[in-house]
Structure 1
Amino acid sequence: MVNLRQSLEIATGSIFNSKLRSTLTTLGIVIGVAAVIANVAIGASFNQYFDEEIGTIGSNFIYIGANEPNVLFDNELEVVQKTPGVVRASPLNEQVAEVTYMSDSRRVSIIGVAGDYDEVANIQLSEGNFLKDNDQYVAVIGNEISENTFDRRLANKNSIDITFRTRDGEVITQTFQVKGIIEKSEASFISTGMDSDTSIFIPISTMNEIIKVDDYSGIFAEGESIDTVTETSDEIDSRLGRYMGISSRDMEKDDVKPYFIVDQQELLEEAGSLSDALTALLTAVALISLVVGSIGIMNIMLVTVTERTSEIGLMKAIGYSNYDVLTMFIVESAVVGTLGGVLGVILGCGGAYAAATFMSLPVVLPAGKIFAGFVVSIVVGLIAGAYPANKAAKMKPVDALRHD
């Protein structure tokens, strides 16, 4: 009876005696496993990237935006601030205005915010200080505004002229002094289009006074924790709806409400669903390579059985059982699958690392899924080799020995 060690030795010898054939057989598994692992790893990298990007927008944030003017006022802000689970809330207004620095003018997003906006939105400064509620004609500018927007660098304590347009069309220009510069950030405010790198922040009281309004375009709130942020968001929605006189029946209809609410957990789930769908699609395509690889193993093993028919007949004539022959061919298929799996894991991890680095994504190599890919390669080898091995085992010694 042939033991496992002898089967491995025979299988290894057969593989190395036919290097070209073995290489071509293994190649299909290598490509399939590498593609699956690379796609799964890139999907995990995208997931982490989205989590990090959304996380830098704010801490457990909830954004309430107005669908039209004259919806959110101080009373609505107070409703949000008093909602259980809300740590702090900052009103904001936004307008694209003309900004002039040393006779050089550019169109820039101007955002009016309260003094605690930097805490709610995770704003970090490289120079100066953030706004305070009693500030008036001062501004905090994004890194891109400071470094690249104008012909000359806009530094801290420099002055700029901002030209606003009121709702009735009046044009008003005011001078602001730069109070702080925000650190460069890759993240942007996904739901409102705000990007701290390319925006200028001014006190919201000053902005509303200039453009002659008393309402807000949005309210940016911070919840107590990421685990309860959706619950807090739902409570804000319920309280605002009741305050505005919206019936419970209409609360389920987003097109009826004059505002919308987005929270961090919701964005994380949407980003995760998108990433998972993309990963599943790419992995499904990659699995086709594994199927092709398994067909290759089956074909090559069938050729091997045909080539070694006389050898099989001799083995059975000297006492090898059907089980022994079956085991040897199954082990050979498993060895091919294992070699393909090892090389596929190495190639897949290397490809995932290179792709993530090229796309400036965090490198994530999920060990569990990599191991699963390796196991799949072995299973594919076993399944693909089962039919040829069974065919070899059932050969009659006399017929096999007569084979030319």
Structure 2
Amino acid sequence: MLSLTHSVKMALGSIGSSKMRSALTTLGIVIGVAAVIANVSLGASFNEFFTEEIGSVGNNFIIVEGKKSNLFHDSELELIKNTPGITGVSPLSQEVAETRFISTTRQIQVQGVSQDYEQVANIEMESGSFLDDNDKYMAVLGHDVAYEKFDKKISEKNTIELTFTRADGEVVTQKFKVKGIIQDPDTTFVQSGIESDVRIFIPVSTMNEIMGEDYYWGFFAAASSLESIDDVTDELDKRLARDLGVSSRDIDNEDAKPYALMNQAEILEEVDQLSAALGSLLTSVALISLIVGSIGIMNIMLVTVTERTNEIGIMKSLGYKNHEVLSLFIVESMVVGLIGGVLGTGLGVLGAYLADSAMGLPYIFPLDLIFVGMFVSIIVGLLAGVYPANKAAKMNPVDALRHE
């Protein structure tokens, strides 16, 4: 009876006797397994990256944005504050202002906010402090505004000059003292309206006074937890709909409402779907390499069977059964696949690490991928070896011995 240990030894001997051919045989498996592992790992890294990026712009945030001006006032602000599950809310107003520091002028987005914005938008200060509701002509600068936009860096206690143009065409210029600089969030995936590094923040009351307005273009709120954020958003939606005269039959019709709601959980769900689709696409492409690799193993094993016809004849004349010859060649094919899997897994791990490092992604590598890589390579070797092994097992020993 041919033991598994003996079969593996014979397989390794056969593989070692033709190193170049064996190397070329395993190459397809190496590339295929490496591609699958690297792509799955990259998919996990991208998902973690987007989750961290979204989390950096707010804690369980809910964005309320008006589709027309003069829609939201203090009454809507109080309504949101009193909604169960809301832990903080900042009204928002924004304008592009001509910003002057010393002799340099730039067009920069200025955001009017309240002191709650620091908490709900997850703001971290590099220097100074964030705005207080009692502040008036004070400004907090995003990291890029302070250090990149002007010829000279702006620091805390410096003075900048903001020039706004009202809706009636009147131009208003006002000096603001810099109260603090926001820490660089180090994010590249941001949602419109909430990125902090390229903006100037001033008190929303001061913004409305300068612009001659008494309304807000939206709100930035926070729910008590990510688990409850959908329920809180639904309740907020119902309250705003009633307050703004939206009928109950139109509450689920986004086009019928004069405002739009978006929360962190919805964005994360969209990101998960995008990551899953991207991962599936990349993995499907990588699986093509595995199919090519399995065909390569099958072809080489067929050549091996032909070259070893005399050997097969001798084995059968010595009493080897058909199933023993079959198992011998299947084991050899599986060993080839396993070797390719080991090398491919190592290459995939290295490739994923280098790709993550090059793109600035967090390195996420699920350990079960190692076992998946090994299992897939063995299965590929098994399937690729069945036909050549079956062909060898069915050889007539007399014909095999006569083969030249």
**TM-score range normalised by the length of the shorter chain:** over 0.9
Cα distance in 2 for partners of 1:13, 1:26 equals 16
Q: Name the residue aligned to 2:321.
A: 321
**TM alignment of 1:54-69, pairs within 5 A:** 54-69=54-69
Q: Name the residue aligned to 2:97.
A: 97
1:79 and 2:79 matched: yes
Q: Name the residue aligned to 2:192.
A: 192
SS in 2 for 1:149: coil
Q: Name the residue aligned to 2:311.
A: 311
**TM alignment of 1:40-51, pairs within 5 A:** 40-51=40-51
The amino acid of 1:308's aligned partner reads: R
**Does the CA-based 8 Å contact 2:86-2:222 persist in structure 1?**
yes
Name which of structure 1's ranges 193-202 and 134-143 shifts more when overlaid on structure 2. Answer: 193-202
Residues matched between the structures, number: 404
Q: Name the residue aligned to 1:257.
A: 257
Q: Which blocks of at least 5 consecutive residues in structure 2 are unaligned? A: none
Q: Name the residue aligned to 1:398.
A: 398
Cα distance in 2 for partners of 1:348, 1:333 equals 22
Pair 1:188–1:360, CA change in 2 (3 A):
closer
Q: Which deviations, in whole Å up to 9, do the C-alpha atoms of 1:275-318 show, x marking residues without a partner? A: 11111111101100000000000000000001001100100001
**Does the CA-based 8 Å contact 2:98-2:105 persist in structure 1?**
yes
SS in 2 for 1:357: helix
Q: Name the residue aligned to 1:363.
A: 363
The amino acid of 2:15's aligned partner reads: I
Cα distance in 2 for partners of 1:135, 1:394 equals 91
- What is the Cα deviation at residue 194 of structure 1? 3.4
Q: Name the residue aligned to 1:336.
A: 336
- What is the Cα deviation at residue 188 of structure 1? 6.7
The amino acid of 2:121's aligned partner reads: A
- What is the Cα deviation at residue 222 of structure 1? 0.6
Cα distance in 2 for partners of 1:72, 1:359 equals 41
Q: Which deviations, in whole Å up to 9, do the C-alpha atoms of 1:104-141 show, x marking residues without a partner? A: 10001100000111011110111101100010000000
Q: Runs of 4 or more off by more than 6 Å in structure 1? A: none
Cα distance in 2 for partners of 1:371, 1:200 equals 51
Q: Name the residue aligned to 1:156.
A: 156
Name which of structure 1's ranges 216-225 and 363-372 shifts more when overlaid on structure 2. Answer: 363-372
SS in 1 for 2:140: strand
1:295 and 2:295 matched: yes
**TM alignment of 1:258-297, pairs within 5 A:** 258-297=258-297
The amino acid of 1:361's aligned partner reads: L
Q: Name the residue aligned to 1:130.
A: 130
Cα distance in 2 for partners of 1:119, 1:251 equals 30
SS in 2 for 1:196: coil
Q: Name the residue aligned to 2:22.
A: 22
SS in 1 for 2:148: helix
**TM alignment of 1:340-359, pairs within 5 A:** 340-359=340-359
**Does the CA-based 8 Å contact 2:29-2:340 persist in structure 1?**
yes
Cα distance in 1 for partners of 2:240, 2:189 equals 23
**TM-score normalized by structure 2?**
0.98
Over the matched positions of the two proteins, sequence identity in percent amounts to 56
Name which of structure 1's ranges 311-320 and 363-372 shifts more when overlaid on structure 2. Answer: 363-372
Cα distance in 2 for partners of 1:37, 1:294 equals 17
Cα distance in 1 for partners of 2:395, 2:37 equals 39
- What is the Cα deviation at residue 255 of structure 1? 1.5
RMSD over aligned CA atoms reads 1.1
Q: Name the residue aligned to 2:228.
A: 228
Cα distance in 2 for partners of 1:150, 1:173 equals 19
- What is the Cα deviation at residue 193 of structure 1? 3.4
**Does the CA-based 8 Å contact 2:144-2:197 persist in structure 1?**
yes
Pair 1:282–1:29, CA change in 2 (3 A):
same
Cα distance in 2 for partners of 1:121, 1:31 equals 44
Cα distance in 1 for partners of 2:114, 2:182 equals 16
Cα distance in 1 for partners of 2:8, 2:350 equals 29
Q: Which blocks of at least 5 consecutive residues in structure 1 are unaligned? A: none
Cα distance in 1 for partners of 2:207, 2:238 equals 30
Cα distance in 2 for partners of 1:148, 1:187 equals 16
- What is the Cα deviation at residue 80 of structure 1? 1.1
The amino acid of 1:400's aligned partner reads: A
- What is the Cα deviation at residue 189 of structure 1? 8.2
**TM-score normalized by structure 1?**
0.98
